[in-house]
Each structure stands twice: as structure tokens, then as C-alpha cells.
Structure 1
Amino acid sequence: MTVDAGRELRLTLAHTRFQVLETVRIPIAVIGNMVFPALALSFFVLPQREIAGDTQLATQAVAQFALFAVMSTCIFTYGVGVAEDRAQPFDAYIRTLPAGPVPRLGGRLLSGGLFSLIALVPLLVLGAVATEAAPSAGQLIGGIGMVLLAGTPFLFAGLAIGYALSVKAALPIAQVILFPLAFGGGLFLPPEMFPGWLDTFSGFLPTRAGRDLLVHVTTGSGATVFDVVVLVGWTVLVAALAVTAYRRDQGRRFR
């Protein structure tokens, strides 16, 4: 490892530590991310014993809400969190330092990934205790990796929101994006329950692509090559929007 690479790594870890501490100082932010997906599973799945009592369907349902947990964490952590940071004088000071944007963005990615994993814990525990979901160890590990990959476009969506909008605008926009995408992607109700037109439309959403890939990893069925194309395409598109928003904000505030 070169001296510059070691320096970047240390700065990235320092930013990660700072952002984790900054988040946990507001416990409700962490608790909300942990509790809400488990509550959604309780409301939508547990009362339906034909789903909760079937191993395949229960595993599929837990996978869907796992993606919702990661998706909501990414959109709110990066969208609202970045917008709040931009409103603070300390953020403007950090962005004038010679370290560059990589450690700051790297810290955001690591802290967001950590809180995404934390958000899965209550959901997985509830799924194991209250349903018949029973993925193998390999499926569980693969599912955790897949859900993080499937959350990538929402990570970039959060960054685009955070760098493009003020705090007052970021929160409602994050909510408007989160719930329609979650419902349309089959995270609350399985796509098999959709009417034909909605099922067709849903196939072009990143939530549906991520959901189908995740279900495939955890149950062995449900994905096509088209899902991979859709997820990669959305990731590239939203990443470009995030980069554009960052550069625009950088040029407007620090020129």
C-alpha cells in the first residue's frame, strides 16, 4: 500500500467514525431504521398464515422487506443526511480541505452500509422466530450480499437528493420516492398479486429487479437476465445524477 493510499484509508475510516457517532447521537434515527421494516413484516405477513407458515413464501417475504430496509436506510441516510450536512458550516469547511472528496464519500458509504446491516437484524430475527422462513447458511450470506448490491441505486439516489436539494425539500422527496418504488417493486405485496399492467410496469423498476434477484438468491427462483440489465442500468443512471448533483453543488458553493 502506498503512502497516499494509506493516508486516504485512514481519512476514510476517520470520516466513517465521525458519521457513525454523529448518527448514533440521535438514537431515534437508528431505532426507526431498525424497527420499521420489522413492523412492516408484522403487519403485512404475520397475519397471513398461508404465507408466514410456508417456507418458500416466508423466505421470499423476509427478502422483500430486507430490500425495503436497505432501500429506506440508503435514501434517508444519504438523502436527508447529506442535505442536513450541507446546511452546516462544518461541512463547508471540510470540503475546502486538501484531502478531496474521496474520504468524505467513502465514509458515507461505509457508515451507510453499516446502518443498512444493522437495520436487517430485527427483521431477520423476527422472520426466524415468527415465520417458517428457513434459508440455508449459503442463501443467507448470499442474500445479505445481494441486498447490499440491490441497494446500490438507492444509495446513489440518496446522494443525488442530498446534494441537489435543501433539507426541507429532501425529506418529502425521499418519502415520495421511497414508498411508490417499494410498492411498485413488489416489496409490500408479491408481484403475483399485481394486475397485468402493473406487473409489466413493475419489471422496469429498480426495486422489482433487486427484489427478483434477491428472491432468486434466497429461494432459487424469481430472476431473469433482464433483472440484471434493469438493476445495472438504473445504477449507472442514478450514479450519473449523483455525480452531476455533487459537481453542481461544489461549483455553486465553492467557486
Structure 2
Amino acid sequence: MILTPVIPRSPWERMRWGTSDAWVVTKRVLMQRVRQPGLLISGLTFPIVSVLLFGYVFGSAMSVPGGGDYREFLMPGMFAQSMMFGIGITMTGMLADTERGITNRFRSMPMARSGVVLGRSAADMLNSLLDLVVLVLCGLAVGWTWHGSFGAMLGALGLLMLLRFAVIWLGIFLGLLLPSLESASGIWGLLFPVTMIANTFVAPEMMPGWLGTIAEWNPLSATVGAARELFGNPGFGGDSWASQNSILLAVLWPVVLIAIFVPLSVRRYRKLGR
């Protein structure tokens, strides 16, 4: 005899049901990373190599507006770039589950519809926290440090994780929207100009006028600028409104992305296979 669980009806029961299912999915994604250390190593290799490459090879030729050490200017940009590249990591994970039939298996089970996407977002947040910790240690090893208060430092890390949480939902939506892993290569290609046309490696005022304006209003630039300000690192601020209000924009941009892509992701998951 097949027993079918009773679907909760009250809001409290449905929330508890969704949370429980999300935790099951979270543990599954985390176990995948533990059992595939190659994914962990490859995910950390690129940012660490970038730190060494830009910090030591190109760093001597870079100048920071207002003066200061380029490696201290660089590290907040590297932290934020790593969070932004999480779009591709989340997207690829969702597409892999879809191609293997795991997503359809979840949909055929008596699970909360929000559980799968919430579980994926929670697991990716935990993985990103580990990535950020490793990058911070790498930064400390090459001479970066923060000069503000401990609370300001925690605020900067919080804004970086807020950006990661926002782009997780963009990655989930793209992973549910694209037809195959091969089609995801174009998105990976777009991530490089998006993260480069920002204040990640070079101050926007050193770019051509039109390109500098685009860089200043890039959501990534807001988080980088806010992190530099809270860390007390050189290179924050500027003449434009966006540069002078980077902390405000570092909150508003992710909130807008979350408000758009959370409902879109849940709705897209519910419509799969229809």
C-alpha cells in the first residue's frame, strides 16, 4: 500500500513543510561538494590565482586614485567578483540536476514547491561563505587588511553576502530557463565583461567617460565601493552620486534583484514540464 503524505493547509504548517524540504535539498548539495573535492579546488583556484596575478604581476603598474596600496584597493573587488561569479555556479548546478532528471524527480515527489529552490540557495550561500573566508585569508597573506572598526568589517562582509544571495536567485532562474549545460557557456562569457566593467580592478574615473559611467552604475561597483569604504581601503568615493552613495546602492541593488527573481524562480520551477 502506498501512503501519500497529507499536504499541509495552514500557513504555519506549509512554512514548516517547505523549510524541512529545503533543508533536505541543502544537505544534498553540500554533500555533493564534500564528495567532489575537485569542484571545491577548481572553484577557489581562479580567485586565488587572480589575486596573485593582479596583485603582484599587474599591481606595480596600477595606480589608485588618491594614492594607496593597490592590493588593498584590489581585494574588495576580488571579494565581490567571486560573489558575482556565483551566478554561473548556481546556474550550472540547476542545469546539471535538470539534465540528470533529478529536478523532475523532485517535482514528482510530495515536496514543497519552494523547497528545491530554497535548498539550493541555502547551500550556495554556505558554500559562498567558505569561499569568502578563503579569499579573506588569501588577502591577509598578500598584505591586505581592513582599517575600520570590527563592526564596519562585518558590515562589509554582510553586503558581500547580500550580493551573493541576490545573484543566487538570478542563477536559479537562468538554470531553470536555459535548455542545456551547453547553452550556459554564453552566460559564463558575459560574466567577465560584467565584472570587469566595474570598479573591481580600476577606478571608473580612469576609464573613458561613457565606460566609466556604466561602471559606476554597475551593481557590482556599489558593493565594491561600499566594501572599500567599510574596510577603510583606498579607492572608495568619487564625484558621481553613485560613487558617493555606494553603501545605499549596495543594499538597494540586491533587494531589487531578490524582489524580481525570487518569485520568478519559484514560478518557473512550478511550471516546469507543463
TM-score range, shorter chain: 0.7 to 0.9
Partner of 2:256: 236
Q: Please report how far the alpha carbon of residue 133 of structure 1 lies from its aligned counterpart in structure 2 after TM superposition.
A: 2.6
1:108 maps to which residue?
120
2:25 partner amino acid: H
Q: Provide structure 2 residue ranges, at least 5 long, that are not aligned to the other structure.
A: 1-11, 238-242
Report the alpha carbon displacement of residue 56 of structure 1 after superposing the two structures with TM: 6.1
**Aligned-pair distance for 1:76?**
2.2
> C-alpha separation between the residues in 2 aligned to 1:96 and 1:211?
42
1:127 paired residue among 136, 139, 160: 139
CA contact (8 A) 1:163 1:245 kept: yes
Q: Which residue number in structure 1 is paired with residue 53 of structure 2?
A: 43
Structure 1 SS opposite 2:181? helix
1:189 maps to which of 191, 202, 209: 202
Which letter does structure 1 place at the counterpart of 2:109? L
Distance, in Å, in 2 between the alignment partners of 1:203 and 1:152 is 21
Contact 1:82 1:159 in 2 (8 A): yes
Q: What letter is aligned with 1:154? A: V
- Which AA in structure 2 matches 1:29? L
Which residue does the alignment assign to 1:59?
72
Aligned-partner Cα distance in 1 for 2:244–2:60 = 29
Deviates more, 1:87-96 or 1:219-228: 219-228
Contact in 2 for aligned 1:153/1:206 (Cα 8 Å):
no
Q: What is the correspondence of 1:22-171 to structure 2 with a 5 Å cutoff?
A: 22-47=32-57, 48-49=59-60, 57-72=70-85, 74-135=86-147, 136-171=149-184
Give me the whole-angstrom Cα distance separating, in 2, the residues matched to 1:244 and 1:106: 13
Structure 1 contact 140–218 (Cα < 8 Å) conserved: yes
Tell me how far 1:178 sits from its aligned partner: 1.2
2:25 paired with 1:15: yes
- Write out per-residue CA displacement over residues 38-86 of structure 1, whole angstroms, 9 at most, x where no aligned residue: 111111123325879x8664333111100111111x2122111111111
Asked whether the equivalents of residues 77 and 224 of structure 2 are also in contact (C-alpha less than 8 Å), the reply is yes
> Normalising by structure 1, what TM-score?
0.84
Cα pair distance change 1:190/1:37, threshold 3 Å = farther
Deviations 1:218-247 (A, max 9, x none): 227434337735863565357535644653
Q: 1:25 to 1:55 in 2, by over 3 A?
A: farther
Give me the whole-angstrom Cα distance separating, in 2, the residues matched to 1:55 and 1:21: 42
- Asked if structure 1 preserves the Cα contact closer than 8 Å seen for 2:117 and 2:266, the reply is no
Q: Structure 2: how far apart are the matches of 1:213 and 1:102?
A: 32
How far apart are the structure 1 equivalents of 2:35 and 2:123? 14
Please tell me whether the aligned partners of residues 125 and 165 of structure 2 are also in contact (alpha carbons under 8 angstroms). Answer: no
Mapped to 1, the partners of 2:28 and 2:137 lie a distance apart of 29
Cα displacement string for residues 143-187 of structure 1 (whole angstroms, at most 9, x for unaligned residues): 211101123442222112101102334431231221011101222
Give unmatched runs, 5+ long, in structure 1: none
Number of the residue aligned with 2:267: 247
Shift of 1:116: 0.8
Q: 1:83 touches 1:170 (CA, 8 Å); kept in 2?
A: no
Moved more, 221-230 or 38-47: 221-230
Match of 2:244 in 1: 224
CA-based RMSD: 3.1
**TM-score, scaled to structure 2:** 0.79
1:8-67 CA-partner distances (Å, limit 9, x unpaired)? 333222211111112332222211222211111111123325879x86643331111001
The structure whose Rg is larger is 2
Structure in which a larger fraction of residues adopt helix: 1
